[in-house]
Amino acid sequence: MPGEEAWPTQPFPTGPPPFARQSFTVKDLSPFIDDPAELARLREDMQAARNEGLFTPPGLKNTVEMPGNNGGANFSGTAIDPEHGMMFVISKDFPAMLRLSLTGPDTGDPATLRYKSAFGFMVTGNGLSAIKPPWTTFTAYDLNSGTIKWQIPLGQVPELAAKGITDTGSHFPKVGPVVTAGGLIFTGTRDRDIRALDVDTGKELWKAEVEAGVEGIPAVYEVNGREYLVYCAAARATTHTHAIPGHPASNAPVPGAYVAFALPSPTASLNGAK
C-alpha cells in the first residue's frame, strides 16, 4: 500500500512439517462445485489474483490467502501427551481472497489512509469451501523426532456422506481434542459425531451420534475413580446455515444439550448418558 513496504524476507520453518495446506491454486478447486458458471468465475478470479504463497501482503488487488484467516488451528485445536512426547492438532483448510479498500474518502496523505478488508471466505454456492477436501484434518506429531506420525481427515459433511462421499473432513469445525493417559483421543465434529481415536494410529475406536453438531473442547474430570467427558452439542450440522455471506443462519431451533459420557476404566467401552 502507499507508504508501506513489506519486509523482503520471512522465516519459513524447515521442521516440523506443516499440518495444513499452505497453497491454493486452480488445480486445487473443489470437485463439488456444481455450477459451471461459478466454477468458471472462480478460475478467472484465481488466475487474476496475486497468489505468491504464505505471507503475501494483501493490497488493492485480490490476494489468495491459504490456509485462510479462519483456517489452520485457530480454535483451540491442540492436545499434548507429555509422557510420550506427542502433540495432536485439529485444523481446517479454508482459503480466503482478500482485497483492501479505503474506509473513508480518498483524501489526505496516502501513507496515513486507513484500509479495510472483509474476511473474504471462498465459499461456493453449495455452502462448501472452494478448495477440494479434506477440509478438516487431524495430525499427530512425534515431538521427539519432529515428524508427523499420522494424519487423517476428521469428520464428514452430512449432505455428502448421505451420497456415499466420505473422508472429506467436516466443514467449518470449531472443536478441539483431549487426550487421556489411557491412550485415547476424544473429539467431536459438526457432523453430530463424537469419536474416540487411538493415540498411536488415529484409528477410530468408538463413535456416538448426538442430536446436534458439536463445538468446543470436551471437559474431562474424574469422580470416585470414574472418568467423564462432557460435550456441548448445540451447533448445526448442515453446511447451509452458517453465518457466512450468502448462507445466512437459520432461525429454526437447535436441539442443544450438554452430553456426558462415562469411561468405567481406561480400556473399557464407553456408555453414554445425556
For the full predicted model, state whether its pTM sits above 0.75: yes
Select the highest-mean-pLDDT range: 108-112, 163-167, 244-248.
163-167
Cα(23)–Cα(260) distance, integer angstroms: 39
| Cα 132-49-57 angle, rounded to 5 deg | 100
Give the tens place of pLDDT for each residue, 176-193.
999 988 889 999 888 889
| Neighbouring residues of 235: CB distance < 8 A, sequence distance ≥ 6 | 174, 190, 212, 213, 214, 215, 254
Give the tens place of pLDDT for each residue, 33-75.
989 999 999 999 999 999 998 888 888 999 999 999 989 998 7
Hey, where are the domains in the chain? Answer: 26-273
Average pLDDT over residues 232-256: 66
Q: How confident is the model at residue 110 (pLDDT cuts 50, 70, 90)?
A: confident
Cα(205)–Cα(201) distance, integer angstroms: 10
Question: How high is the mean pLDDT of the chain?
Answer: 87
